[in-house]
Amino acid sequence: MPPAITAEGLVKKYGDTVALDGMDLSVPEGTVFGLLGPNGAGKTTTVRILTTLLRPDAGRAAVAGFDVVADADRLRAHIGVSGQYAAVDDHLTGAENLEMVGRLYHLGAKRSRRRARELLERFDLTDAADRPVQGYSGGMRRRLDLAGALVADPPVLFLDEPTTGLDPRARTTLWDVVAELVAGGTTVLLTTQYLEEADRLAETIAVVDHGRVIALGTADQLKDRIGGDRIQVTVESAVDLETVRRTLAPLAIGDVQTDAVASQVTIPVVNGAAALTAALGRLAAEGVVVRDAGLRRPTLDEVFLTLTGHHTVEHTKESVR
């Protein structure tokens, strides 16, 4: 089966800014693919090109078998998009907005109306369905925008930072919806700055930085790339942090991280369980009072730091639409 989404060597420049610098992607049908990267990495630019809203300066891409430039018109009938540039008409009600999308996709009046009601219900917007969107909160707009992407049941769905600005309940709803869609064969490309989200939803994650993919794999594969487990020791008193650091440094296979606020030291190790036992023995011999100690796998943020030398930026962007 051909991939649902392919991109080869996409380049996009804005003046001197290189937004995309050779972006390559291949997304198998019926899977969730996560583009994970910090602000300005090129996520939205990629989505805009794949959804025909923007033409690449170089490279090629195809979605559902249609070239993003040559077959742009036919391509559009096969995709749904939600994201940072979405068009929601403020003067129409929520229901009218969704019905309009249905009509654009040639669903017919009756089916458009039924689909709109279903999705309003699904995203907790039934009470607001007949109110003009200009009175909606930011989170309500985001939910309406997501519903809009789903109206036509498109085989390929693009979700640009779908959970930014959503409350925890709406976030869970979205996660459930994505899981259901994929079980039904839909292909989803989502972008996120949230490591847990990529980890939870996406089978394959592409880590993006400066307009290209710098790492590709499952969450577990990416974690394996920086290897090993982490021992995390929390001490009663922050004055002991330096002792912990010095005592455990010989066990470390990489950088030891100290978090003074959490009174915590994190040490990358091999053979986690044995190393943890050894670590606790050494700390006891030094007379350090340990409040908590345990093993954990590296987070995707640590993967990102290892790959790029900088952290992913994790903050909400309520105001970005």
82 vs 223: CA distance, rounded Å = 29
Give 244 or 300: the residue with its C-beta nearer to ligand ATP: 300
**Residue among 161 and 229 whose Cβ is closer to ligand ATP:** 161
3-state secondary structure of 101: helix
- Segment 43 to 72, residues that bind ligand ATP, using CB under 6 A: 43-45
Q: Work out the burial of residue 168: count CB atoms within 10 Å of its CB; fewer than 13 is exposed, 13-18 middle, 19 or more buried.
A: exposed
- 148 within 8 A of 101, measured Cβ to Cβ: yes
Smallest separation, CB 48 to Mg ion (Å): 9
Which amino acid is residue 85, in one-letter code?
Y
Q: Is 316 in the site for ligand ATP (CB under 6 A)?
A: no
Closest to 227 measured CA to CA, from 250, 253, 199: 253
Site for ligand ATP contains 14 (CB under 6 A): yes
Which of 44, 97, 186, 263 is in the footprint of Mg ion by CB under 5 A? 44
Closer by beta carbon to ligand ATP, 40 or else 59: 40
Name the residue among 216, 207, 211, 183 with its Cα closest to residue 304.
207
Q: Tell me, what amino acid is at 110?
A: K
User: Two tokens at 46?
Assistant: 């990629």
Q: What is the DSSP string of 136-148?
A: --HHHHHHHHHHH
Cβ-contact 198, 314 below 8 angstroms: no
Smallest gap from Cβ 206 to Mg ion, in A, equals: 14
**Using the rule CB under 5 A, is 6 a contact of Mg ion?**
no
3-state secondary structure of 158: strand
Is 39 one of the binding residues for ligand ATP (CB under 6 A)?
A: yes
Q: Tell me which residue has tokens 């079980």.
A: 183
Tokens of 196: 């847990």
Q: Which stretch binds ligand ATP (CB under 6 A): 14-22, 172-180, 235-243, 259-267?
A: 14-22
Between 45 and 264, whose beta carbon lies closer to ligand ATP? 45
Pairwise CA distance, residues 282 & 311, whole Å = 31
* Identity of the residue, 43 or 223, whose beta carbon is nearer to ligand ATP in the bound complex: 43
Q: Residue 103 CB: number of other CB atoms within 10 A?
A: 15
CB of 160 to Mg ion, least distance (A): 6
Within 164-223, the residues that bind ligand ATP by CB under 6 A are 193
Answer with the entry of ligand ATP, Mg ion, none that 41 interacts with (C-beta below 5 to 8 A by kind): ligand ATP
Count of residues interacting with Mg ion (CB under 5 A): 2
List 3, 34, 37, 298, residue binding ligand ATP (CB under 6 A): 37
Under the binding rule (CB under 6 A), the answer on residue 17 touching ligand ATP is yes
Q: Which residue has the tokens 């001197």?
A: 16
Judge whether 37 and 208 are in contact, CB under 8 Å: yes
Under 8 Å between Cβ of 41 and 209: yes
Is residue 82 at the binding interface for Mg ion, with CB under 5 A as the rule? no
- Judged by CB under 6 A, does residue 42 bind ligand ATP? yes
- Per-residue contact string for residues 84-113; x = within reach of ligand ATP by CB under 6 A: x-----------------------------
Question: 73 vs 319, which CB is nearer to ligand ATP?
Answer: 319
Nearer to Mg ion, 161 or 199 (CB): 161
Which positions lie near ligand ATP, rule CB under 6 A? 14, 17, 19, 37, 39-45, 84, 193
Which positions lie near Mg ion, rule CB under 5 A? 43-44
